[in-house]
């Protein structure tokens, strides 16, 4: 029997994460936003006020994409840009009233969704998974 063409753990890992990703994508479509936009809103929901740079680093997208997504969210009225008086290169971003309302509507359901998807794992299993994934991450980065 020939060796399995690709690492099984690898396949499982990539398929599972994609399935989760797709699930969240669908969830967000209901609110007329995409995953990237949600990620930005999520950062702001927890951090309140962030520079465009900081958000980009959090969610790992390029500066060009940041400008684009921030524009979109501003057009939709969920966030607003605030010029920084101390450093005029910098622009801060915060949720608007609307943005906050949206997030307060979305987040509980979103948390449930995540917890439900990961929810068959016992605490013990969850810890094991985290440990194993960290081991892999460490290896990938180097």
The residues that touch DNA, with contacts defined as CB under 7 A, are 34-37, 51-53, 56, 60-70, 72, 81, 86-92
CA dist., res. 67 & res. 51, Å (int): 12
Q: Which does 67 bind (CB under 5 to 8 A by kind): a copy of itself, DNA, none?
A: DNA
Quickly list H helices, 30-61: 35-47, 52-59
44 near 93, Cβ under 8 Å? yes
User: What tokens does 138 get?
Assistant: 């460490």
Q: At closest approach, how far in Å is the CB of 135 from DNA?
A: 25
Residues in touch with a copy of itself (CB under 8 A): 5-10, 12-21, 23, 46, 60, 111, 114-121, 125-126, 128-130, 132-141
CA 51 to chain centre: 17
Q: At closest approach, how far in Å is the CB of 1 from a copy of itself?
A: 15
């Amino acid at each position: 029997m020939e060796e399995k063409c690709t690492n099984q753990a690898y396949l499982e890992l990539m398929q599972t994460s994609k399935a989760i990703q797709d699930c969240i994508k669908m969830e967000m479509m209901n609110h007329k936003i995409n995953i990237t936009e949600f990620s930005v809103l999520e950062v702001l929901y927890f951090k309140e006020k962030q520079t465009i740079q900081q958000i980009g680093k959090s969610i790992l997208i390029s500066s060009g994409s940041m400008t684009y997504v921030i524009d979109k969210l501003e057009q939709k009225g969920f966030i607003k840009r605030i010029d920084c008086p101390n450093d005029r290169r910098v622009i801060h971003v915060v949720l608007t009233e609307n943005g906050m309302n949206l997030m307060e509507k979305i987040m509980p359901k979103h948390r449930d969704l995540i917890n439900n998807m990961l929810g068959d794992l016992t605490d013990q299993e969850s810890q094991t998974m985290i440990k194993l994934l960290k081991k892999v991450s460490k290896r990938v980065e180097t």
